[in-house]
Amino acid sequence: NIVIGGAAGAFPPMVGWVAATGSIDAMSLALFAIIFFWTPPHFWALSLWARGDYARAGIPMLPVVAGARETRRQIVLYTLALVAVSFLPLLCGAGHTYAVVAALLACGFVIGAVRVLRDAQDETGESLTRDAPAKALFRYSILYLFVLFAALVVDRMVMS
């Protein structure tokens, strides 16, 4: 549900770009890809520490249907994809400011995802730390997206 929902959530920045520029171009597709690949690790981090609530409500979030271990693995995989697509704006004309910010943010996201993966777990995959790394990654992911997109704006202002 998160991967499919990620596509719906990824359209607004693309539509905004198209409204501002009048065309669907590589940058609008890059913005779509960033949000699309950001959505799963963001929401799965949340769902790890809220999985009991999702289970009681009958919402088929990944930790409920596939378990906490698989969710942690998927967070890392989607984080790596997110890091890769976060550099697409460089192919579309973004400059050095964006490159530096994207690289620093990527390092933080990967470190956070690996911490989620390596979180101390019992034999069922339940966190022994009350999902502290997942909570931290969730918070970081919000900052990540805001700062990444702000860097595009700053980069454009610096380049003008």
Positive or negative, the CA dihedral 55, 60, 68, 131 is negative
Per-residue confidence band for 134, with pLDDT thresholds at 50, 70 and 90: very high
Residue 5 has a pLDDT of 85
DSSP assignment of the chain equals -HHHHHHHHHHHHHHHHHHHHSS--HHHHHHHHHHHHHHHHHHHHHHHHTHHHHHHHT---HHHHT-HHHHHHHHHHHHHHHHHHHTHHHHTT--HHHHHHHHHHHHHHHHHHHHHHTS-B-TTS-BSSTTHHHHHHHHHHHHHHHHHHHHHHHHHHHH-
The answer to whether the predicted template modeling score (pTM) of the entire model surpasses 0.85 is: yes
Backbone angles phi, psi at 47, to 5 degrees: -70, -25
Summarised one tens digit per residue, pLDDT across range 68-105 is: 999 999 999 999 999 999 999 999 999 999 999 999 99
Contact 75, 137 (CB under 8 A): yes
Rounded Cα gap, residues 150 and 140, in angstroms: 15
Rounded Cα gap, residues 139 and 141, in angstroms: 5
Summarised one tens digit per residue, pLDDT across range 135-157 is: 999 999 999 999 999 999 999 89
In this model, does residue 124 exceed pLDDT 80?
A: no
